[in-house]
Structure 1
Amino acid sequence: MPHTKTQLNCFDLPEMQLVENRLKEINTYDNPYLSEVTGYILSQGGKRIRPLLVLLCSDIYGANLKTRVDVAVAAELIHSA
């Protein structure tokens, strides 16, 4: 049987869009320089594998959506720091 490649687009998950929105939302500082620097770092995007894994694993254990998104955002922020 031939192997087929399946591509997972994590942005197809509505929860990942919530993570992206939250990352943009928290990047509001009184200091414009700080906002610019953190905005640049967070806008690099990348694969966002860590928040995706947090969302998927926490869903298995029945965590509520807000908690899942908050922890996924925290994982991405820690990774980006």
Structure 2
Amino acid sequence: MKMHKWLLMLLLTWAAAFSTPAAAQSAPEQMSTVEFSSQAPAASQPEMADVMRQDGKIYIVVVVLVSVLLGVLFYLINLDKKIGRLERELRQ
């Protein structure tokens, strides 16, 4: 039962972390912006993401991020099991 609580907490934290930038981008009139007239409009595009997507390296980044998140999740589940076992031993 406790594992479900950890998974729910992790899912809610993940959703909150990724929903904040999307909300900030959807309302640009509320944010103060600084414009530079010396730069061309095409220079404001994220070139690194395009280059990584073209080279196929973006998939490596995604695999690394997913593996790190799965490792953290696995660690939390094991830690929850150990803590539960220690709590049961202390009650007896």
Q: Which range, TM-score by smaller chain?
A: under 0.3
TM-score by length of 2: 0.24
Please identify which structure carries the higher helix content: 2
